[in-house]
Amino acid sequence: MLCMFRNLLVVALAALYVVSAVAFEAGSTVFGTIQNVDTDQGRLTLRAGEEKIVELQAPAELLAGLQTGDAVEVKVSGQKATMIRKQGEAQQPETGGALLQQQPDGMRPSP
């Protein structure tokens, strides 16, 4: 009986490990510098840190406008990029609306 319980516990822990690894990988974000963009092959190579090189698959529409040397934030699911944003770009409002430009305190717009 104890042996069967131990085996069940080992299997449950192994399953939990696999599920947590998949869940972690599914929602990760990578920050890095583009080393290479190949729109024909749908590939992106990033340097993420001093010694880490990451190769990802990405649709051509995500790779459009990217160049070697761009600093980017990439949402990753497995080995595929699901979102790529250049660092320093302003985020656009997601649902309608307009960005309002405000004057600093004490300054009035000139007539």
Which domains can be identified in the chain, with CATH numbers?
2-86 (2.40.50.140)
pLDDT digits 0-9 by tens, 20-60: 455 445 569 999 999 999 999 999 999 998 889 999 999 99
Phi, psi dihedrals of residue 76, rounded to the nearest 5°: -125, 140
Q: Is 89 exposed, middle or buried (0-12, 13-18, 19+ CB in 10 A)?
A: exposed
Mean pLDDT of the chain: 77
Could you tell me which residue, 79 or 2, shows the higher pLDDT? 79
Nearest to 56 by CA among 100, 96, 48, 102: 48
Could you tell me which residue, 103 or 30, shows the higher pLDDT? 30
Please report the beta strands in the chain, taking only residues with DSSP state E, as ranges in sequence order. Answer: 28-38, 43-47, 53-57, 71-77, 80-86
**pTM for the structure as a whole:** 0.55
